[in-house]
């Protein structure tokens, strides 16, 4: 998959609560944006890419606040009915990790089970759900990519989760990435550095620059401008945002629904 546009347009947003630096909770806004791309998986009109959804929000279905990722999944059907996005059955999902929040959205860096977020996207009827675990996610390792590659609709999606540190050195990362083999999309949690104001791991940039994939997705740190070049390809940072990678809108409604979802559900 390759990006054709480098300035996302905003489709809509979700208001949510997140932990505030120094304690307590505060209101934040999750932007839902659009970029044009080609090479999407066969059967998909768009792929929703998101990560670092560390907050709680109201679902359009009502009830108590839920994890922000669950609320995002719940809104997909609403937005499809409003024709803001393609039909949910033609929408793939890539998750870049860190999808947990303390129930009160008042503890920074809380860790916990995020299986319910993955389940919510599957229950919404998305064509596929794939991605990696972040350093604050608790999830069955067999359900996420970590040194593996899956092929969905002819697109090879590789993933390496977590962050570099004592448990995963750059050499460990290199073995995992190379073990996955060539890919069209590489999904990471911690990503490479971009431009001067786009913080990231310079060791990852050096490694990936030797054989960059067409698209590298990451999160972990926030970029105000979410795109940076990496060789002939791009880095897309989705920390605290959801980005719809979309083909031509005239294909909506004429696409077959994929049935090879990576996420097995519960």
Domain that holds residue 48: 2-250
Q: Is residue 189 part of a domain?
A: yes
How far, in Å, CA of 255 to CA of 149, rounded?
Answer: 24
Domain presence at residue 50:
yes
Report if residue 257 sits inside a domain. no
User: Does 81 reside within a domain?
Assistant: yes
Distance CA 105, CA 46 (A): 30
Residue 258 forms part of a structural domain: no
Question: Which residue, among 221, 215, 196, 203, has the nearest Cα to 164 in the 3D structure?
Answer: 203
Pairing assessment for the beta strands 91-95 and 128-131 based on DSSP bridges: parallel
Q: Could you tell me if residue 256 is inside a domain?
A: no
CA distance 2 to 233: 7
232 within domain boundaries: yes
How far, rounded to the nearest angstrom, does the alpha carbon of residue 194 sit from its chain's CA centroid? Answer: 18
Exposure string over 5-38, b if 16+ CB within 10 A, otherwise e: eeebeebeebebbbbeeeeebeebebebbbbbbe
CATH number at 117 reads 3.60.21.10
Whole-model pTM over 0.85: yes
Cα angle at 91 between 87 and 95, to 5 degrees? Answer: 145
Per-residue model confidence as pLDDT tens for the chain (266 residues): 999 888 899 999 999 999 999 899 999 999 999 999 999 999 999 999 999 999 999 999 999 999 999 999 999 999 999 999 999 999 999 999 999 999 999 999 999 999 999 999 999 999 999 999 999 999 999 999 999 999 999 999 999 999 999 889 999 999 999 988 899 999 999 999 999 999 999 999 999 999 999 999 999 999 999 999 999 999 999 999 999 999 854 443 333 333 344 554 44
Q: Which residues have a Cβ under 8 Å from the Cβ of 36 and sit 6 or more positions away?
A: 3, 4, 5, 245, 246, 247
Q: Which residues of 149-166 are buried (b: 16+ CB within 10 A; e: fewer)?
A: bbebbebbbbbbbbbeee
Q: Give the other-Cβ count within 10 Å of 224's Cβ.
A: 7
Structure tokens of 177?
Answer: 């990435």
260 inside domain? no
Tally the domains of the chain: 1
Element (H, E) at 247: none
């Amino acid at each position: 998959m390759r990006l054709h546009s480098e300035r996302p347009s905003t489709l809509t947003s979700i208001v949510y609560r997140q932990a505030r630096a120094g304690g307590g909770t505060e209101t934040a806004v999750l932007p839902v944006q659009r970029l044009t791309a080609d090479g999407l998986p066969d059967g998909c009109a768009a792929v929703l890419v998101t990560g670092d959804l560390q907050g709680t929000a109201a679902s359009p279905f009502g009830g108590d606040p839920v994890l922000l990722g669950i609320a995002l999944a719940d809104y997909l059907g609403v937005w499809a009915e409003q024709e803001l996005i393609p039909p949910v059955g033609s929408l793939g999902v890539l998750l870049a990790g860190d999808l947990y929040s303390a129930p009160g959205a008042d503890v920074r860096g809380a860790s916990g089970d995020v299986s319910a977020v993955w389940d919510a996207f599957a229950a919404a009827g998305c064509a596929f759900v794939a991605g990696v675990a972040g350093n604050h996610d608790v999830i069955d390792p067999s359900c996420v990519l970590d040194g593996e590659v899956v092929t969905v609709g002819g697109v090879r999606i590789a993933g390496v989760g977590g962050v570099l540190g004592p448990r995963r050195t750059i050499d460990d990362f290199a073995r995992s990435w190379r073990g996955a083999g060539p890919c069209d999309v590489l999904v990471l949690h911690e990503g490479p550095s971009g431009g001067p104001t786009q913080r990231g791991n310079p060791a990852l940039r050096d490694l990936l620059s030797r054989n960059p994939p067409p698209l590298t997705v990451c999160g972990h740190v926030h970029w105000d401008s979410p795109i940076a070049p990496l060789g002939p390809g791009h880095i897309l940072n989705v920390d605290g945002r959801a980005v719809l990678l979309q083909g031509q809108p005239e294909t909506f409604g004429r696409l077959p629904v994929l049935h090879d979802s990576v996420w097995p559900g519960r």
